[in-house]
């Protein structure tokens, strides 16, 4: 490579340094970037604003972490890439809470539970309702989120999850040893088209609502990538303030529209690849 006898552009170098770190670390707070680069936070703020404006990075809603955008990745984004899923879903989740006021989570399946990967709670009118945090374990059989996933995922996936849950010693998975009850619950969920909490579920993975009651209720719908359910988005409210029937009637259409928007945007790269092989 030719050795150019010129000065480098310091501002560009700083921006590339931040971008390189975000690609390596996958996510970082402003303080993380300060520790990694040694750049003053005022400088970092300007760098971040520039990179974000150019679509090179984005900020997760749940915790404010900065992440490298998939837009300029060397390979096309994959629908099962969770960071890409969050990047696609975050703007829609922000729009959703502006419309309905109540907060939501975005969750994906793990082996025997659902895990929160994003929430719009900090942007919600009811921001005092803490949802998440990122990585929070959500009960698969008793939560609205878990029931929505189990009801609409493939039969093979459903049986695999239920087998793992039946072998579990965790008290919160007791329903896995009641196959007829599970069959009825999931059939009801499919007929409704959305998941609801079981009456005894108060938000705690293992405890009953009598033992732990978060005072909330939830409704959840699937996010599809083709014929595969890749995530679940829910809506959570305080049941002393709003009735389930009213939420379902007035706000479920907005939740469904949000899920459809995320699904559509998630599949955009595949559609573009098909049009431009």
pLDDT (0 to 100) of residue 4: 62
Q: What is the pLDDT of residue 273?
A: 57
Q: Name the region of 215 (left: φ>0; alpha: ψ -120 to 50; beta: rest).
A: left
0.85 exceeded by pTM: no
The SS3 call for residue 149 is helix
The residue assigned the tokens 């309905």 is 100
Q: Write the pLDDT tens digit of every residue in 205-218.
A: 999 999 999 999 99
Taking only the tens place, the pLDDT of each residue in 27-82 is: 889 999 999 999 999 999 999 999 999 989 989 888 888 988 876 655 555 656 88
Q: How far apart are CA 251 and CA 243, in angstroms?
A: 11
Tell me the C-alpha distance between 42 and 20, whole Å.
19
CATH number of 10-68: 1.10.10.10
Whether 67 contacts 59, CB under 8 Å: yes
pLDDT of residue 131: 74
Q: Which residues make beta-bridge pairs with 168?
A: none
Strand residue runs (E) in the chain: 57-59, 66-68, 105-109, 114-119, 137-138, 195-196, 216-225, 228-238
Cis, peptide link before residue 133, omega less than 30° from 0:
yes
In the prediction, which pLDDT does 25 show? 80
Q: What is the pLDDT at residue 168? A: 94
Quickly name the fold that domain 82-275 has. Answer: Beta-Lactamase (3.30.450)
Give the residue ranges of the chain where pLDDT is below 50: 1
Instruction: Please tell me the distance from the alpha carbon of residue 241 to that of residue 191, in angstroms, as a whole number.
Output: 27
The reported pLDDT for the residue numbered 260 is 98
Closest-CA residue to 115 (of 88, 78, 145): 145
| Angstrom distance (rounded) from CA 259 to CA 52 | 25
Helix 144-152 to helix 179-192 angle (10° resolution) is 90
Q: Distance between CA atoms of 117 and 67, rounded to whole angstroms?
A: 13
Beta strand spans in 42-130 (E): 57-59, 66-68, 105-109, 114-119
Domain range annotation of the chain: 10-68, 82-275
């Amino acid at each position: 490579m030719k050795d150019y006898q010129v000065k480098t552009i310091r501002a560009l170098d700083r921006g590339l340094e931040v971008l390189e770190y975000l690609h390596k670390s996958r996510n970082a707070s402003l303080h993380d970037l300060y520790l990694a680069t040694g750049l003053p936070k005022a400088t970092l703020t300007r760098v971040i604003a520039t990179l974000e404006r150019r679509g090179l990075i984005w900020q997760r809603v749940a915790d404010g972490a900065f992440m490298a955008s998939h837009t300029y990745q060397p390979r096309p984004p994959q629908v099962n890439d969770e960071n890409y899923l969050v990047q696609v879903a975050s703007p829609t989740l922000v729009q959703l809470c502006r419309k309905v006021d109540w907060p939501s989570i975005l969750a994906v399946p793990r082996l025997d539970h659902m895990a929160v990967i994003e929430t719009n709670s900090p942007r919600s009118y009811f921001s005092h309702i803490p949802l998440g945090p990122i990585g929070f374990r959500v009960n698969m059989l008793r939560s609205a989120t878990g029931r929505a996933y189990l009801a609409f995922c493939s039969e093979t996936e459903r049986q695999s999850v239920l087998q793992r849950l039946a072998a579990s010693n965790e008290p919160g998975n007791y329903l896995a040893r009641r196959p007829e009850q599970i069959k009825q619950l999931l059939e009801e969920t499919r007929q409704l088209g959305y998941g609801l909490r079981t009456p005894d579920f108060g938000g705690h993975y293992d405890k009953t609502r009598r033992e732990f009651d978060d005072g909330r209720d939830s409704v959840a719908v699937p996010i599809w990538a083709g014929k595969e359910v890749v995530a679940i988005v829910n809506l959570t409210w305080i049941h002393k303030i709003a009735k389930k029937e009213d939420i379902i009637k007035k706000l479920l259409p907005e939740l469904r529209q949000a899920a459809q928007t995320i699904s559509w945007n998630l599949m955009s790269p595949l559609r573009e690849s098909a049009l431009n092989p």
